[in-house]
Chains A and B, each alone.
Chain A
Amino acid sequence: MKLTLPKMLQIAVTFVTCAFLLVPTLQSVLAGVTVNYFKGVSSGLTLKWIGRVWELYADSIFLSIWLAIACLVCTLIIGVPAAYGLARRPGWVSRVLEEFISLPLAIPGLALALALLQLYGSMKGFRTSWTFILAGHVLYTLPFMVRSVLAVLSVIDLKTLEEGAASLGAGPWRRFCDIVVPNAMPGILAGALTVVTLSIGEFNLTWMLHTPYLKTLPVGLADSYASMRLEVASAYTLVFFVIIVPLLMAMQWASNRAQRIAQ
């Protein structure tokens, strides 16, 4: 292969773009394991800062994971039957409902949080419990679950499959468990990973809803940026990466699988 000028330009642009994205990331990660950021790497590498993050923010990490799991359970319980209902009765009512569920995507998280605070802010027990943040997360992530399951369900001939199961003696509940859920599995999987990733990374809404005793990972991150040494904040970023990157990769894998099955 000969390197012509246009080819070289292409490679150069690609390289610069990658560098633009990667260098700050690597620098941040590096800063998290450097003894003294202002002296640079020459001051030596250490895991001390990661230890500090763990000491200060372990609660946030567990809260975020707990919230993500609870949020996943809620979106599964609400979202899968909802998607099934929408897929079984296509028509303008379903379209309107689908758009309505998707509204939280278009509205800024801040506005959503404000609405929740106005409505439930005076209910002290709810306002100060983790379920308040959960409510916000469910509201925000539900459309992703519904749409992902709906996309898979709408390409299979659900009505006839269910009629087939019914003619073999299966009641509505058995049909849902034996036919609908297994065939929607790629969509459920893709939706589940999206929900977990979004819930762990959500900041806008959570920042408005959190209390000093209930800080999630991203809220803690903002807190550490504002009030800690730069090395601690960077180490925090590193911890965040370690948690979120495997999730992102799993999500990619699941959505690829879902697409293959949908074809």
Chain B
Amino acid sequence: MTLTLKSVSKTYPDGTVALQPTELHVEPGEIVSLLGPSGCGKTTLLRIIAGLETPNAGSEVRFGDDDVTNMPVEHRKVGMVFQSYALFPNMSVKGNIAYGLKMQKLGRDAIEERVTEVIRLCQLEPYVDRRITALSGGQRQRVALARAFAPRPRILLLDEPLSALDAALRVTLREELAGLLRRFNITALFVTHDQDEAMAIADKVAVMSHGKVVQTGTPEELYRNPKTSFVAGFVGHAMQLEGQVRGSVLEMSGGRLELPRAGDDCDVYVRAEDVALDEAGPLKATVESSTFLGTHYRVGLSGLGARTIFANHAGQKSPALGSQVRVAMHPSALMLLPREDDRS
């Protein structure tokens, strides 16, 4: 099922604009992530699609050819996974998964068959008759997913499905969730504030900021060709290089850096993995800090502008603190982005 949003917006009664008019199109079977910092309106957007929040007049939400804008949540046939999972504590694992099917008034055999199928798919066989309170965080997440998926929803909506878990578990379950969503073969939309999560799970990512979708694309596109400094900073932690752009050269306090093209009216950004410590480099800097991260050192460099610039250094040894180093950045790794008013 395709999901189409046309100028969907939301203003709360107290005047707070949670969502500016937003367009979004999700193809059948596509897994899309809404990525953004907290308060950017991503959860509001998800809740509007679910029918848990009413959008402003003039908004339009379509499931395929079906206009569902004014349809209450219980008739929309969406599967929702909540941040807190919202599993029913008065029912067993099986009772939770069967609930949506019961609401569809299916026969006993049909319910039994579907529940067994979903339980097998989510590998929940050992926990079928357990109470919800006797499950771990990861198991609860799977039950929540199974419960949302069992009634064959038209779309699966997930609200920060991994944020209730501790960090170590989150990475494992991220892969598991990505695998399950692919096996379900269903249109899915999930909200997250974690860029790694969005990239690992989604086919397409919509980056949101201040109640607006600022850029939509595949994870690679967003990473390699961010359209705004916000996207560059949020996806992959790009750092701004301070200095004067003159033609295709950036004059920094540590030296002159060659740019890939003339970039007046542009700000220059670079990622830590593209900053190299190189004796032949054109820039001078001082080593301010160094953190060993296993695969590489994260070296903090001062003298390249007011802010510290970080370099991922893959050598066997870290340069000594306070020592002078020379730094190179390949022109192709530099991102020239239109200068913005300092709003975001």
Number of residues from B at the complex interface, CB < 8 A: 26
In the assembled complex, B148 has its CB within 8 A of some CB on chain A: yes
In the assembled complex, A163 has its CB within 8 A of some CB on chain B: yes
B148 touches A169 (CB 8 A): no
Question: Which residue of A156, A163, A168 contacts B99 across the interface (Cβ within 8 Å)?
Answer: A168
Question: Which residue of A160, A170, A174, A183 contacts B90 across the interface (Cβ within 8 Å)?
Answer: A183
Chain B residue numbers with a CB within 8 Å of A166 are 52, 72-74
Please judge, given known A-B contacts A167-B148, A169-B151, whether A174 and B88 are in contact too, CB under 8 Å: no
In the assembled complex, A70 has its CB within 8 A of some CB on chain B: no
In the assembled complex, A99 has its CB within 8 A of some CB on chain B: no
Whole-angstrom distance between the Cβ of A50 and the nearest chain B Cβ: 44
In the assembled complex, B77 has its CB within 8 A of some CB on chain A: yes
In whole angstroms, how far apart are the Cα atoms of A165 and B100 in the complex? Answer: 8
In the assembled complex, B82 has its CB within 8 A of some CB on chain A: yes
Whole-angstrom distance between the Cβ of A163 and the nearest chain B Cβ: 6
In whole angstroms, how far apart are the Cα atoms of A171 and B71 in the complex? Answer: 13
B74 touches A171 (CB 8 A): yes
In whole angstroms, how far apart are the Cα atoms of A168 and B51 in the complex? Answer: 12
Chain B residues numbered 110-131 whose CB sits less than 8 Å from any CB in chain A: none
Chain A residue numbers with a CB within 8 Å of B50 are 167
Question: Which residue of A156, A157, A164, A169 contacts B77 across the interface (Cβ within 8 Å)?
Answer: A169
Question: Which residue of A174, A182, A183 contacts B103 across the interface (Cβ within 8 Å)?
Answer: A174
A182 touches B74 (CB 8 A): no
B86 touches A169 (CB 8 A): no
B104 touches A179 (CB 8 A): no
- Mark interface residues in B77-91 (1 if CB within 8 Å of A CB, else 0): 111101010111110
In the assembled complex, B147 has its CB within 8 A of some CB on chain A: yes
A156 touches B89 (CB 8 A): yes
Chain A residue numbers with a CB within 8 Å of B86 are 157, 160-161, 163-164
In the assembled complex, A178 has its CB within 8 A of some CB on chain B: yes
In the assembled complex, B317 has its CB within 8 A of some CB on chain A: no
Please judge, given known A-B contacts A174-B103, A178-B99, whether A165 and B80 are in contact too, CB under 8 Å: no
In whole angstroms, how far apart are the Cα atoms of A192 and B253 in the complex? Answer: 77
Chain A residue numbers with a CB within 8 Å of B77 are 169
In the assembled complex, B75 has its CB within 8 A of some CB on chain A: yes
B90 touches A179 (CB 8 A): yes
Please judge, given known A-B contacts A157-B84, A163-B52, A179-B90, whether A168 and B147 are in contact too, CB under 8 Å: yes
In whole angstroms, how far apart are the Cα atoms of A2 and B212 in the complex? Answer: 76
Whole-angstrom distance between the Cβ of A155 and the nearest chain B Cβ: 11
Looking across the interface, which residue of chain A has its beta carbon closest to that of B100? A168
B73 touches A163 (CB 8 A): yes
In whole angstroms, how far apart are the Cα atoms of A11 and B82 in the complex? Answer: 56
Chain A residues numbered 176-220 whose CB sits less than 8 Å from any CB in chain B: 178-179, 182-183, 185
Looking across the interface, which residue of chain B has its beta carbon closest to that of A179? B88
Please judge, given known A-B contacts A163-B52, A183-B89, A183-B90, whether A168 and B103 are in contact too, CB under 8 Å: yes
18 interchain pairs (CB within 8 A)?
A: A157-B86, A161-B86, A163-B52, A164-B82, A164-B147, A166-B74, A167-B51, A167-B73, A168-B99, A168-B147, A169-B74, A169-B103, A169-B104, A170-B103, A178-B99, A179-B88, A179-B90, A183-B88
Rank and list the top 7 A-B pairs by shortest CB-CB distance, nearest first: A168-B100, A169-B103, A164-B86, A182-B90, A167-B80, A160-B86, A166-B73
